[in-house]
């Protein structure tokens, strides 16, 4: 259902050398897939995570990733263990995606770089636990607006080690109306494999533009 089209999704770049804010409209997918990419693709440095609101209420998706990063000493040097292997540590990052029913405001995405520091887990809830509030409904939750939290329940985090996703894929978390669950909102997860992404497009390649933009920001910071 979700794989056939690109719903107008605004992109946020988390950890790309720029602030986590909605980027220039040049990076926004606004037309049907096949003209612009709906996944970063196998050669891209990003994973795209989207929150899709198919309810009649505002929904805030609490998207959390875990990645492995190199441990550095006080001088910025890479640390090695006794066997000569890189020392790494797991680091989590949470991004809030505030969506609203109807129009283009019901779908928002965030891109995470994934090559230098591999993303190992992707899920909902700050601690990636089934008891966490995975989304806040009818309010911003962390934004101070009253609402109620819906737990992740059986929606387990996606794992790189288990082959649930790869760098270049798109992960979609969807909130739908359901009378069979507490609160009336159920959560689903979908994957759009980057390996199935066409290599050529009639229009701009969103993620090539984004990667070039991120690299230019790194050069300017240097």
Give me the residues paired with residue 13 across strands.
111
DSSP letter string, 172-204: EEEEEE-TTSGGGEEEEEEEE-GGGS-S--SS-
Residue-range domain boundaries for the chain: 51-197
pTM value is 0.74
Q: Count other C-beta atoms under 10 Å from residue 5's C-beta.
A: 13
Euclidean distance between CA atoms 123 and 106, whole angstroms? 19
Rg (CA), the chain: 18
Distance from CA of residue 57 to its chain's centroid? 21
| Block residue for tokens 């701009």 | 204
Q: Is the pLDDT of residue 2 over 80?
A: no
pLDDT digits (tens, 9 = 90+) for 103-135: 778 888 888 888 778 899 999 999 999 999 999
pLDDT digits (tens, 9 = 90+) for 186-207: 999 999 888 877 666 555 556 6
């Amino acid at each position: 259902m979700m794989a056939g089209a690109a719903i107008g999704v605004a992109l946020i770049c988390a950890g790309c050398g720029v602030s986590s804010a909605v980027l220039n409209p040049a990076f926004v997918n606004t037309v049907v897939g096949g003209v612009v990419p709906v996944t970063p693709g196998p050669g891209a440095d990003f994973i795209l995570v989207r929150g899709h609101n198919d309810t009649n209420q505002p929904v805030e998706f609490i998207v959390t990733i875990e990645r492995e990063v190199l441990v550095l000493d006080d001088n910025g040097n890479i640390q090695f263990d006794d066997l000569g292997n890189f020392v790494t540590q797991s680091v989590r990052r949470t991004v809030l995606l505030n969506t609203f029913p109807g129009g283009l405001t019901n779908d928002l995405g965030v891109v995470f770089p994934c090559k230098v520091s591999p993303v190992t887990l992707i899920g909902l809830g700050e601690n990636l636990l089934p008891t966490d509030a995975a989304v806040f409904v009818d309010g911003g939750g962390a934004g101070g607006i009253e609402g109620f939290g819906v737990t992740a329940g059986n929606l387990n985090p996606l794992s790189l080690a288990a082959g649930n996703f790869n760098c270049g894929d798109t992960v979609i978390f969807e909130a739908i109306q359901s009378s069979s669950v507490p609160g009336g909102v159920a959560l689903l997860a979908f994957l759009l494999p980057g390996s199935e992404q066409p290599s050529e497009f009639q229009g701009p390649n969103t993620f090539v533009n984004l990667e070039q933009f991120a690299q230019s920001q790194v050069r300017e910071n240097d």
